[in-house]
Amino acid sequence: MSEYSRKIRHDFAEGDRKRDKGLKTPDDIIRYDNISYGPHPEWNLLDIYRPKAAEGKKLPVIAIIHGGAWVYGDKNVYQFYGMSLAQRGFAVVNYSYRLAPEYQFPTPIEDTCAVLKWVYDNANKYNLDITNVFAVGDSAGAHILGSYAAFCTDPEYKTALKKAYPNKKLSAPRGIKLNAIALNCGKYDLNKDYEKDKNLQYIKGDYLPKGGTKKEMELNNVTAHITDKFPPSFIMTCPGDFLRSQAAHISSALNENSVPFCYRYYGSAKKPLHHVFHCNMRLEEAVKCNDDECDFFRQYMK
């Protein structure tokens, strides 16, 4: 592991602890914790959050893919954000995935495939409406979600990925389609804005098995694999987001392929906010952003 990735694990953990200090499970939420969705006993675990008032009712689903530069994070650092989405009338599936450098690309996509299959297989047990499945991804999680969405909608990308990694369990689950997705403060094209993200060279060494070959970079460029079948997308950033220029790249690709999308820019010069600010439950801008994303999803409910 690079020193930079080690620093990310330390610094991000400190920030998340401060952000969530004192928060508790809301009284109106019921949660089911540490459910296994795959073979790894620590990383292949998920939580489900539902509003208590909807007990026994099938609810639309939001799957959460957390951020953390591909090397940090788990479902626990997104639990309060996830429960806030559940309070808006959704069944939220918040999951951990295996991290780099111990587990490299495309392992997070493999785990995402497994999670969506689990949702399909367990829909009746947890009252999950599989005709209305959505997903949110933040930062590196937005990159993973974008890659997964491309895998499900671009046959050429799916073929290329399976050919490059034949030993990975990569398969889009039958019976489930992402109605729409939200991509928050994400990295979508690893080849662009390199000068603004100089530490990416260390991340590439940890995340990509061969350190960032031309082929690996092509397979990790979400914008190159968007077709007109890509799910409708909510794109969000803010002045204080160090990846904010990436939002323009994916917006352009969505526009070129006639994919419906909504672009939102929160904050101002006086209040720039910060990268993935919407996970801070104490910010009024987070409430606004999360309301907007859920309203966007409701437009695509069946």
Q: Go through the domains of the chain in sequence order and give each one's CATH number.
A: 3-298 (3.40.50.1820)
pLDDT for res 203: 79
Confidence category of residue 174, pLDDT binned at 50, 70, 90 = confident
pLDDT band at 3 (very low <50, low <70, confident <90, very high): confident
CB contact at 8 A, 234 and 182: yes
Query: Which residues on adjacent β-strands are paired with residue 136?
Result: 64, 182
Residues of the chain with pLDDT > 90, as a percent, come to 90
Burial 187-219 (b: 16+ CB within 10 A, else e): bbbbebbeeebeebebbbbbbbeeebeeebeeb
Window from 86-100, 183-197, 226-240 with minimum mean pLDDT: 183-197
pLDDT band at 175 (very low <50, low <70, confident <90, very high): confident
Average pLDDT over residues 97-120: 97
For residue 195, is pLDDT > 70? no
Judge whether 297 and 127 are in contact, CB under 8 Å.
no
Q: For the residues 5-24, what does the mean pLDDT come to? A: 95
Residue 97 structure tokens: 């995935």
| Eight-class DSSP state of 236 | E
Q: Which helix or strand (DSSP H or E) is residue 92 part of?
A: strand 91-95
What mean pLDDT do residues 73-96 have?
Answer: 98
pTM (two decimals): 0.96
Write down the residue that tokens 């907007």 correspond to: 292
Instruction: Work out the pLDDT band at 176, boundaries 50, 70, 90.
Output: confident
Q: How far apart are CA 292 and CA 127, in angstroms?
A: 25
Torsion, Cα 193 161 180 88, to 10 degrees, reads -90
Q: How far is CA 213 from CA 12, 92, 145, 158, 191, in A?
A: 28, 36, 22, 19, 11
Indicate if the pLDDT at residue 192 is higher than 90: no
Q: How many Å apart are CA 92 and CA 74, to the nearest integer? A: 15
Supply φ then ψ for residue 36, to 5 degrees: -75, 130
pLDDT at residue 241 tops 80 = yes
- What is the rounded CA–CA span in Å between residue 202 and residue 208? 10
**Quick one: CA torsion of 110, 113, 119, 121, rounded to 10 degrees?**
-90
Q: Is the pLDDT of residue 71 over 80?
A: yes
Task: Kindly give the pairing relationship between strand 128-138 and strand 91-95.
Answer: unpaired
Q: Over range 77-85, report the average pLDDT.
A: 98
Tokens of 172: 């889009």
**With 70 as the cut, is the pLDDT of residue 232 above it?**
yes
Predicted local distance difference test score (pLDDT) of residue 214: 93
pLDDT at 194: 54
User: Of 126-140, 203-217, 271-285, which gets the smallest average pLDDT?
Assistant: 203-217
Res. 199 pLDDT band, cuts 50 70 90? low
Report how far apart the first and last C-alpha atoms of the chain are (Å, whole number). Answer: 45
The predicted structure's pLDDT at residue 204: 84
Of 7, 90, 1, which Cα lies nearest the Cα of 293? Answer: 90
Please report the pLDDT score of residue 193 as a whole number: 66
Cα pseudo-dihedral 275, 278, 284, 287, rounded to 10: 160
The C-alpha atoms of residue 199 and residue 5 are separated, in whole angstroms, by: 9
Q: Spell out the SS3 assignment of 203-215.
A: HHHHHCCCCCCHH
Evaluate if residue 198 carries a pLDDT over 80: no
For range 60-76, the mean pLDDT: 97
- For all residues of the chain together, what is the average pLDDT? 95
* Predicted confidence (pLDDT) at residue 19 exceeds the cutoff of 70: yes
pLDDT, position 205: 87
User: pLDDT tens, 110-165?
Assistant: 999 999 999 999 999 999 999 999 999 999 999 999 999 999 999 999 999 999 99
Strands 91-95, 45-51: parallel, antiparallel or unpaired by DSSP?
A: antiparallel
